[in-house]
Amino acid sequence: MNIFFIFSVTLLLLFTGCSSRGKSSYVAPLEPQSYSQDKDVYSSTVNKKDYHHPTMRPYEIRGIKYYPTVVNVGDIFHGNASWYGPDFHGKLTSNGETYNMYDMTAAHKTLPMNTIVKVTNKNNGKSTVVRINDRGPFVETRIIDLSNTAARNIDMVGAGTAPVKVEILGFHSKEKRDIPLLKDLRDTPQDQVIDGFALQIASFSRFEGAVATQKKYNNTDGYTTIIKDVQTSRGRLFRVWLKGFRSEQEARDYKALGNFQGSFIVRED
């Protein structure tokens, strides 16, 4: 038999196993630059020139807009997990890290980066703990995309997907990439607040009007009011902001109630 033919068939078999993310049997990774990338379908790994920080901004994939959200320790989510490995090994993740299929990481569409979660395979009861460092999977029926190693820990590599329970354990600092011990997470914040979003509900040229509005609407639905003293081309203005929203989506949802006509979302520097 022709040696070139045998070599070609061997290569074909090798790459066929890696071509479908989440449904491949394991093979040793090649050099990172040899991998293809299908970010439109599965993960939001990005090229260096396309990378923008911070990763908590809303983003859009195939016409669907996603809003990174607020979660608390102990929150639980149910859905299907998938995994990604060789085709993405060495590529940049959404937060700018280099994806390593051997690390204990995962992709999620809206959880804050560096959220630590426990993922339990409902089919066999096996669990693993991972850190969120990427966005995805952008498939409606899936809620989390595990690294190859994490998927192996709960025996779902062969099946490609599995029904899982995802539990929020805590939040790691952005400078750290290891998986902290559970006892260390107990001393960290118990929720993840994406602060800085507010609703401008009024603007006045006279300070007295701003003060009256601030007092009238302070503590409305649990939110607080502040006055922003701003110098503009039209002169000095006193803007009244309603604050306390824990994400842009929460501010949008509240604005949509129509309690403050003409209001709009702002973000404090």
User: By the 8 A CB rule, do 172 and 114 touch?
Assistant: yes
Residue whose C-alpha is closest to residue 106's, from 22, 208, 186, 25: 22
Domains and CATH numbers, the chain: 20-185 (2.40.40.10), 197-267 (3.30.70.1070)
Predicted confidence at residue 40, as pLDDT, reads 29
Predicted confidence at residue 266, as pLDDT, reads 86
How far is residue 45's CA from residue 95's CA, in Å, rounded to a whole number?
A: 9
pLDDT digits (tens, 9 = 90+) for 204-216: 999 999 999 999 9
pLDDT digits (tens, 9 = 90+) for 44-65: 333 333 333 335 566 778 877 7
User: By the 8 A CB rule, do 132 and 68 touch?
Assistant: no
Predicted confidence at residue 253, as pLDDT, reads 77
User: By the 8 A CB rule, do 100 and 147 touch?
Assistant: yes
Predicted confidence at residue 174, as pLDDT, reads 58
Instruction: Indicate if the pLDDT at residue 8 is higher than 80.
Output: no
Instruction: Indicate if the pLDDT at residue 21 is higher than 50.
Output: no
How far is residue 189's CA from residue 168's CA, in Å, rounded to a whole number?
A: 12
Give the rounded percent of residues in the chain with a pLDDT score beyond 90.
Answer: 38
Query: Which two tokens mark 29?
Result: 């990774």
Predicted model pTM: 0.55
User: Residues with Cβ < 8 Å from 186, sequence gap 6 or more?
Assistant: 170
pLDDT digits (tens, 9 = 90+) for 180-226: 555 555 555 555 555 578 899 999 999 999 999 999 999 888 888 99
Considering only 11-25, 74-88, 245-259, which range has the smallest mean pLDDT?
A: 11-25
Mean pLDDT of the chain: 74
pLDDT digits (tens, 9 = 90+) for 69-124: 777 888 889 999 999 988 899 999 988 889 999 999 999 998 888 888 999 999 99
Mean pLDDT to the nearest integer, 135-155: 93
Predicted confidence at residue 24, as pLDDT, reads 30
User: By the 8 A CB rule, do 80 and 143 touch?
Assistant: yes
User: By the 8 A CB rule, do 254 and 197 touch?
Assistant: no
